[in-house]
Amino acid sequence: FKIVDFYNAFINPQMKIPPSSIDWHGITDDMVKDKPIAIEVMPEFLKFVSDNPIVGHHIGFDVKMINKELGEFFGCKLENYTIDTMLLYSNAIVRKDTHVSLDYLFDVYNVVCTGRHTALGGALAAAEG
C-alpha cells in the first residue's frame, strides 16, 4: 500500500486541556495556543474527507467530537461511513465487550509508533502495521 494523502490539524480548544487528556495524547496547552479554532478548520477538513469512509481506532469518539463542533457551528453532522479498527479487532479476536487499545495492538503486532496518541501518529503507525 502507499499513503497518498492525509489531513492533520491541531485545534485550539479555547479551554485548558485537562491533565488526564495531556497524559493520554501528549498534546499540551502550549502546542495549541496559537492554532486555529474548530470552526476555522472544519471547511478544509470536510473538503478533504468528502464522502470517503473514515477509518480510526475508537472512531466513534472522534466522530462525536467532530459532530459536536459541526452541529454547533454549521447545523450539520458527519455522515461518512466509518470503520472502527478497535471494533474490528475486538469482534474478530476477543470478547465483544473488551476495549482494545491501539497501544495494545501495536504491541501484539510489533509495530513501532512515534507520535502515538496524536491522530496522525496513530493513523500512520496503524497503516504501516
CATH of the domain at 74: 3.30.420.10
Q: Please count the structural domains in the chain.
A: 1
The 3-state secondary structure of 25-88 reads HCCCHHHHCCCCCHHHHHHHHHHHHCCCCEEECCHHHHHHHHHHHHHHHHCCCCCCCEEEHHHH
- Structural domain of 39: 19-128
Tell me, yes or no, if the pTM score tops 0.75: no
pLDDT tens by residue, the chain, 129 residues: 566 778 888 999 999 999 998 887 778 999 999 999 999 999 999 999 999 988 887 788 889 999 999 999 999 999 999 988 777 766 666 555 566 666 776 677 666 666 655 666 666 665 665
Decide if 76 is inside a domain.
yes
